[in-house]
Structure 1
Amino acid sequence: ETGTSSIHVAASRGQSNQIELLCIFGGNPAKVDAAGISPEEHARTNGYVDLADRLIELQYELTDRLTCFIGGKLPNHKTNQHIVLPELNENFDNSSQTLAARQKLQQLPNSIFEDLAMDVFDEVERRELKTIWHAQVDQELIPLHVVPFLPVNPSFSATRNQV
Structure 2
Amino acid sequence: MTGPTTPRRAALLSLALLTSLSACDALPRDPEGTLEHVRASKTIRVGLTQMSRADRAIADKLISVVAQRTGARPTLTPVTTEPAFAALDEGRLDLVVGPFSEDSPWATDVAFGPPLKKAGSEDHPIEVKAAMRNGENRWIMLVEAASRQVSPAVATQ
Shorter-chain-normalised TM-score: which range? under 0.3
Higher Rg of the two aligned structures: 2
Question: Of Structure 1 and Structure 2, which has the larger fraction of its residues in helix?
Answer: 1
> What TM-score do you get using the length of structure 2 for normalisation?
0.22
Structure with the greater relative contact order (CA < 8 A, sep ≥ 6): 1 or 2?
2
Taking structure 1 as the reference length, what is the TM-score of the superposition? 0.22
